Amino acid sequence: MKKIISFLGIAIMLFTFMASCSKNAETSSVLPITLSVNTDLTLEIGQTSEVITIQGGDGNHFRIINTNASVAQIKQENNTFTVEAIRTGETTIVVNSAGKSKSLKVIVAAPAVSFGEITSPLALKVGESKVIPLSGGDQKEFSATSSDAQTLEVSISEKNLTIKALKSGNATITVSSAGKTAQLEVSITNVLIESIKIDEPQNFQNLAITVFQLPFYLKTLLKKP
């Protein structure tokens, strides 16, 4: 009987020891989570980050939580992910694995408003209109004003700015979107007549002869009684 009790005691001790070793081995295999990006991530609207690599945790299973999906979207593939900026604001990305976690702050800003390839000052003639594609800001909503609406008329349609020169002078266009602004100087001049085209040169020749002979006809008329 004593032998049986001793055997059972030894078996329990061995089982406890092995379980303890197994638990320690599992614990030692779980590491703190690290990311290949060590600082806050700043992006502009429409921009996608470089691929971010996750290390640590259990090394295989990672869960990513995005606290504000309206600002940025996450695309995960195994132990890597990318961040796509949607609109201005901030969000926090939290990576979890085996009881460990790591946070990454993402800041999304609006890019500068641009008039494309148009440079300032822009020269126009009275009556001339021009459509200018806009970019930057939130890429969606733009507003525009003219410093002199009687000289230069402006209007916005989606991402296009339309301007029309009303009279000679100078005006400044200001375009705004998502807190970003840009200005374009416009110089307007009157239309000058550079040349006159005569479509019927024969008629012009006849007119020239008639004008040349006019003094002779007048002289003849004066001589008549």
| Residue 215, pLDDT score | 54
- Is the model's pLDDT at 67 over the cut of 50? yes
Higher-pLDDT residue of 218 and 185 is 185
d(Cα 125, Cα 3) in Å, to the nearest integer?
A: 113
Whether this model's pTM surpasses 0.85: no
| pLDDT confidence tier of residue 106, bands split at 50, 70 and 90 | very high
| Residue 115, pLDDT score | 95
- Is the model's pLDDT at 6 over the cut of 80? no
| Residue 26, pLDDT score | 47
d(Cα 89, Cα 45) in Å, to the nearest integer?
A: 10
The bridge status of strand 52-57 relative to strand 31-35 is antiparallel
- Is the model's pLDDT at 129 over the cut of 50? yes
Percent of the chain with pLDDT over 90: 68
Residues 128, 105 share a domain: no
Domain boundary pick from 109, 131, 166: 109
d(Cα 167, Cα 128) in Å, to the nearest integer?
A: 10
Write out the DSSP string of 121-150.
SEEEETT-EEEEE-BSTTSS--EEEES-TT
Domain boundary pick from 59, 75, 109: 109
**CA–CA distances in Å: residue 156 to residues 50, 143, 147, 161, 188:** 34, 7, 16, 5, 20
Write out the DSSP string of 58-85.
TSS--EEEES-TTTEEEEEETTEEEEEE
Residues 86, 34 share a domain: yes
Residues 126, 91 share a domain: no
- Is the model's pLDDT at 196 over the cut of 60? no
- Is the model's pLDDT at 57 over the cut of 50? yes
Is residue 210 domain-resident?
no
Q: What is the mean pLDDT of residues 57-73?
A: 96
| pLDDT confidence tier of residue 92, bands split at 50, 70 and 90 | very high
d(Cα 48, Cα 86) in Å, to the nearest integer?
A: 9
Identify the H or E element spanning 3: helix 2-29
Residues 164, 100 share a domain: no
- Is the model's pLDDT at 140 over the cut of 90? no
- Our count of domains for the chain comes to 2
Range of the domain at 40: 29-109
Q: What is the mean pLDDT of residues 51-68?
A: 96
Note whether 183 and 173 are within 8 A (CB).
yes
- Is the model's pLDDT at 81 over the cut of 50? yes
- Is the model's pLDDT at 21 over the cut of 60? no
Phi-psi region of 74 (alpha: psi -120 to 50; beta: other; left: phi over 0): beta
- Is the model's pLDDT at 224 over the cut of 60? no
- Is the model's pLDDT at 187 over the cut of 80? yes
Is residue 47 domain-resident?
yes
Helix, strand, or coil here: 21?
A: helix
- Is the model's pLDDT at 51 over the cut of 60? yes
Is residue 151 domain-resident?
yes
- Is the model's pLDDT at 111 over the cut of 70? yes
| Residue 192, pLDDT score | 75
Note whether 83 and 52 are within 8 A (CB).
yes
- Is the model's pLDDT at 1 over the cut of 60? no
